Amino acid sequence: MLIFKVLPLILAVHLAHADISYPKDHCVAWKTKKTMFLFKKLEPVGVSCDVKTVIKKDNKGDSFLKIEVPIKSFDSNESKRDAEVVKILKADKQANLVFTTYEALKIYNSKNNFKGKISGEISIGGKKSPIEFKVSKTRQGGESVYLGKAVLKYTDLGISPPSVAGGVVAKVADYLELHFKFSEDKINKSL
């Protein structure tokens, strides 16, 4: 009888998170790998389109890009997982996930069809960690769109990969992808 209660849950989770789909043009996402019940491999995804992107100047006059995402805004189509993400990302210490980089202008000021990397810092729970994104800039529908992806480990960010019941029910691999899709016209420029 337990299998009839558990199987629909496994199928619903698997079907809901096969790929990243952005509901809008200006969003970020996380993706990870987990094993359920010791054998079922899944790739959960959480998306937020509540993103603030701004290009500013610091006190020295150097330009940088700052991206802020409210941690509570990530939606993985599973409220229990979303609540766990809020805990894992320490929203009680820092409500927003923050990424800053001084290298974004080399892509922003470039011609279209740019591909490259940008390095910066990500701040989670008051702790800053270095991070590097592969980024491309293309034209879609008459505007510039930026796509980015970083592959790292939870432990790179000082986070232990979560598990349920010692990993028997669910165990997340020490693997994390961070993605973004930004529309140039939604990047605030306060230069």
The correct answer on CATH 1.20.58.220 for the domain covering 2-189 is no
If pLDDT is split at 50, 70 and 90, which confidence band does 189 have?
A: confident
Q: Flag whether pLDDT at 16 surpasses 70.
A: no
**Burial status of residue 172 (CB atoms within 10 A of its CB: 0-12, 13-18, 19 or more):** buried
If pLDDT is split at 50, 70 and 90, which confidence band does 1 have?
A: very low
Please compute, for residue 83, the number of CA atoms within 13 A of its CA located in the half-sphere on the CB side: 3
Contacts for 5 with CB less than 8 Å, ≥ 6 apart: none
Span 109-123, average pLDDT: 87
For the entire predicted model, the pTM comes to 0.82
Residues 124 and 146: their CA atoms lie apart, in Å, by 23
If pLDDT is split at 50, 70 and 90, which confidence band does 7 have?
A: very low
Residues 151 and 175: their CA atoms lie apart, in Å, by 7
Span 150-166, average pLDDT: 84
Q: Which of 5-9, 38-42, 80-84 has the lowest mean pLDDT?
A: 5-9
Q: Flag whether pLDDT at 132 surpasses 60.
A: yes
Choice between 104 and 130, residue whose per-residue pLDDT is larger: 130
> Mind giving me the DSSP string for 50-114?
--EEEEEE-TTS-EEEEEEEEGGG-B-S-HHHHHHHHHHTTTTT-SEEEEEES-HHHHHTSPSSE
Distance from chain centroid for Cα 28: 5
Q: Hey, where are the domains in the chain?
A: 2-189
C-alpha distance from residue 149 to each of 5, 80, 92, 137 (Å): 36, 26, 26, 12
